[in-house]
Amino acid sequence: MISLRTITISTALLGIGCGALATLAGCGSSETVAAPTRASEAAKTEGISPQTFADSVHAVMMADRTVYAKHVVTRLKKQNAPVAPSEYWEDEEHKIPLPAQMFRMGAELVAENPEAGFSYALKSKWPLNPQNKAVSPMEIEGLEFVAENPGKNFYGEEKIGDKTYYTAVYPDKAVAQACWECHNNHQNREADYPDFKEGDVMGGVIVRVPLNK
């Protein structure tokens, strides 16, 4: 069980506007292991709990991204198809986005929707892009936890500016060969980054649900 902690940070530190967050890091999926907290327990009599909501939207995200990574991106690479995934797909012909880029575009659309009721991001301890590095204390703690406890999720509450969020961090596992090969051979890879293989935790999916208006 994960103990609930409240952390207060400024909105300027995370670059949050209107309570929304959206960034990215890698590609994969995770198993869900429940860890009840005060917030989820208190919400039982009020309808769906923040944890159940976060778990549900995460399951949909991972299903969509895993299908894209395994059955579109990896399949095209294996077939040496004329259309291929590329980090620079916007500037090149016959290219499609990498799974992580597709995930970020979805996160950005959700962040722009005032009726979404949540935000999400994909971050990592080993980011290829600086924008995907953990910023808040809870992000850092959550990424450390899922990296050290494969298959388990991290839950807590944090205060960002004047808003309190229920924050869930899910392990982001390497499920498609195209994903871990891209990370292992990327030009921005630091010398101390691990060599990923199938099933390794490459980062974390962070879902935030506002608890107050």
pLDDT, one tens digit per residue, over 102-148 is 998 999 999 999 999 999 999 999 988 888 899 999 999 999 999 99
- What value, to the nearest 5°, has the Cα angle with vertex 55 and ends 52 and 58? 145
Whole-number percent of the chain with pLDDT over 70: 78
Q: For 140-187, how does the pLDDT look when each residue is reduced to its tens digit (9 = 90+)?
A: 999 999 999 988 999 999 999 899 999 999 999 887 777 788 788 888
Mean model confidence pLDDT for the chain? 80
Mean local confidence (pLDDT), 27-42: 47
Separation in Å, CA 123 to CA 82, 104, 199:
31, 10, 17
Confidence of residue 23 (pLDDT cuts 50, 70, 90): very low
Q: Does the reported pTM lie above 0.85?
A: no
Considering only CA atoms, which of 131, 124, 163 is closest in space to residue 17?
163
